[in-house]
Chain A
Amino acid sequence: MPMETSKQSLISRYFTSDRDAASLAFFRIGFGLLMFVSLVRFWALGWIDKLYLTPKFHFHYWGMDWVTVPGIYTYGLFAICGIAALMVSAGIRYRIAIILFFLSFTYIELMDKTTYLNHYYLISLLSFMLIWLPANCLYSVDAVKDKSLRSGRIPSWTIDSLKVMIAIVYIAAGLAKLNSDWLTRAMPLTLWLQGKSDLPLIGGLMHQSWVHYAFSWGGALYDLCIIPLLLVRRTRVFAFSLVVIFHVMTRVLFPIGMFPFIMIFCSLLFFAPSIHRQILDWLGERMGFAMAKWQTDSILSQSLFLSVSQVVIIAFLVVQVVFPLRSHFLTDNVYWTERGYRYSWRVMLMEKTGYANFKIQNTRTGKRFYVDNGDFLTGFQQKQMATQPDFIIEYGQYLGRHFESQGHQHVGVFVESYVALNGRPSQQYIDPQVDLMQIDYKSLVESHILQFDE
């Protein structure tokens, strides 16, 4: 190869290269099934009622005040989402199904930010990506019906883009763990692990300080190294065992739901396409499908949609690399103020316990009274609210409007709030002198949060 091979040609050669479509089909089938199971589990545990229908008040994401909980139709929304997940898995009207899944799932998440979890966010992102990817070319009902769709090979980038997304999650999570609380104080794992002495086998170790440090350092190392280990062929099986051990451990130790299974599944994407094909053929044969029908060597033909997809996915991934880093452009402590905390793969990084006592005061007469938060929020909402500034402001303003509508005049809302972060003594959190009604919470200026004292 001539020395002057430019980067340009390397890149363009990569973007014209193709790979076995089985990988993406494998991901589509598994993802759809896992989503379906997750939704059924959520429904069966009664969480639709508990988390969405019971609360009288819902916390909105910034700029998402228009999202409302559709009452009893929320069950319908979950049903649509679940059916869409099954359709995605089977590859029935894939494009419509995945769009429907993305929209319904994301809408569900937007209904109340009390339930925010990084892995729900990840699912929204992955399903958004899947809208643009040709995941139904193989092993799908669509491809059986439509021969022109059926392709054995698809562009490499369509598969690699998902790996990049998974890599961003792990590496960002690993980098976020490189902070002093995690590494030098083994916090918050010390708090979480010391009470787990009733666990079988490992319970006796759970109060030992060195175990807390080992878990902390090991966790950070795992997050940072797992992607390279999965990428290199020789270490892949070892890496996969690590993935399984790590996520099974987190499942045993913490109430973490379906997340470990989703991450274990995602790591399978790093294996060679031939593995995916073997798994699918093996499963397909057992389910009585004539697998020979699926064999084709044709390459997915270039289309306008695919070109647009490529631009969208690249732009999307660039945003995903940059967005989690945003808190580094702020001077405040991200754990204390939580500015830039969400959507940046900060997983299990802090234990915050809080208490917020709201005072309604007539700003003219000074007459005041306190609010019983239980009258307005569920226990879960109260807990989340008390440690997050944006929740405190939104709820405070809701209280103000509520009492105004009850005929109270010159309503000022003040909060006496205390937060303990990662085992430190509690400190006052929001400035008790600030009238929450006067804060423009859309402005993202948060001078009302008191300074964090290390």
Chain B
Amino acid sequence: MKIFTKILSVVTLLGAILILSQGCKDPMQTDQIDDQFDRSEMLTDWADKIIIPSYTDYVQSLELLVEANTIFSTTKNSSTLSTLREYYLNAYKAWQVVSMFEIGKAEEVQIRNFTNIYPTDVDAILENISSEEVNLELPSNYDTQGFPAIDYLLFGLSSDDVDLMTQLDGEAGAYLTVLVDRLYTLSQVVLSDWNDGYRETFIDNDGSSATASVDKVVNDYLFYYEKFLRASKIGLPAGVFTGSELPRLVEAPYSRIYSKELLMHGFQASRDFFNGTASHGQSDAVSLSHYLDYIFESNAMPNVSSSIHTQWDVIETAISLLQDDLYSQVEEDNSVMLAAYDELQKNVIALKVDMMQALNIQVDYVDADGD
């Protein structure tokens, strides 16, 4: 019985250690992590210097859009129309900066699905305009609202501004107001959640598990970069996934001339987030670039961030070669689009393979056993 008792006590003891070690946090831990990369500092910077300021900008840009629309709805002339269009563009650009942060309330309300799904469905929009009641919260209405639908209403209803204003005098104008107001409401919901406690939740969740903030943000970031920046803004219209050029798939195809500007803003936002470039007036944030540098220095690993930095410059050059109007760029010389796509693609590999390995973050984490 002696050995048996020993076995039993070993199992019990270690079982107890296991349970205790999983159950409580070590109060001494904060003293021990001085000399290592501080994830919670990075999360604080992300929240305070990048995400919340960018969302604040976005909400303000929509406030101005709502205002311009109110003025336009009472007084329709070429001046109020051009102001409205200008604020539409500004808000759309501000959206590009926050689109990647589909986390917390933004994820819950699916803000991206209700803000920027294109191509917009013109037939469905016209149907919505003429129907009594429209439920814009239905997934079937993703592509009848948001900026792409506003782009159609402000630029696509008619090629003649006078005619366009006449049309916006009726139910189309009312629909425009509904869309603008809805964008504003959604943005407010997300921002106020950040200000009313989500910021703290976000920062406190500073672990390394798959549900921790760093993992989630990085996955969201990659998802944005790969799908919404690389594929939607360039790949799809350039025919990368279909083999045939589809210029009507560019972003904002009715105003046309803004498509490159929107792309540039999306790209710049991706780059800024990686570098930790803060939104106006703040000192720069600690971000992925610094995290990678820390790992590079402390573990003699390959310098992932420097190769990503180099590629950002190459991408910027490739995008700058595009015409303002990506629609005609695809029609006239698609090879410039494909070249820009290829350069964006190179950083997909650097971000998704090299960065993810260095940070030990799983892409699209699936809960399953390993060995």
Interface residue ranges, A against B (CB under 8 Å): 45, 47, 50-51, 115, 117-119, 190-192, 194-201, 203-205, 207, 209, 236-237, 240-241, 244-245, 248, 251-252, 254-259, 268, 271-272, 275, 278-279, 282, 347-348, 351, 353-355, 357, 360, 367-372, 378-380, 382-383, 418-420, 423-426
Contact = CB atoms under 8 A, between A and B. Distances in A.
B356 A353 contact: yes
A198 B356 CA distance: 19
A369 to B, nearest CB: 4
A237 B243 contact: no
A369 B239 contact: yes
Interface in B3-32: 3-4, 6-7, 10-11, 14, 17-18, 21-22, 24-26, 28-29, 32
A370 B241 contact: yes
Of A259, A271, A278, chain B has the most CB atoms within 10 Å of the CB of A278
B206 interface: yes
21 contacts: A50-B366, A195-B208, A197-B208, A198-B212, A200-B21, A200-B25, A200-B29, A203-B33, A248-B18, A259-B371, A279-B4, A347-B371, A348-B371, A355-B352, A367-B243, A369-B241, A372-B231, A379-B363, A380-B364, A383-B364, A425-B304
B353 A420 contact: yes
A237 B6 contact: yes
B370 A254 contact: yes
The contact size tier of chain B is 35 or more
Interface string B200-214: 000000111000100
A251 B15 CA distance: 12
Chain A to chain B: the 6 pairs with minimum beta-carbon distance, closest first: A204-B32, A379-B364, A257-B369, A380-B366, A369-B243, A353-B357
What is the predominant secondary structure among interface residues of chain A facing chain B?
mixed
Given A200-B26, A252-B21, A370-B240, A119 B4 contact: no
Given A195-B360, A256-B370, A380-B368, A209 B299 contact: yes
A209 B235 CA distance: 42
Nearest to A268: B7
Nearest to B346: A418
A426 B349 contact: yes
Interface of B: 1, 3-4, 6-7, 10-11, 14, 17-18, 21-22, 24-26, 28-29, 32-33, 36-37, 39, 206-208, 212, 231, 235, 239-243, 295, 298-299, 301-302, 304, 307, 345, 348-350, 352-354, 356-360, 362-371
Contacts, number: 165
Contacts of B362: 383
A256 B21 CA distance: 17
Contacts of B363: 353, 379, 382-383
Nearest to A375: B241
B241 A252 contact: no
B290 to A, nearest CB: 15
B220 to A, nearest CB: 14
Contact of B368 (A47, A195, A351, A357): A47
B358 A426 contact: no
B29 A355 contact: no
A247 to B, nearest CB: 9
Nearest to B10: A241
B348 A355 contact: yes
Contacts of A383: 362-364, 366
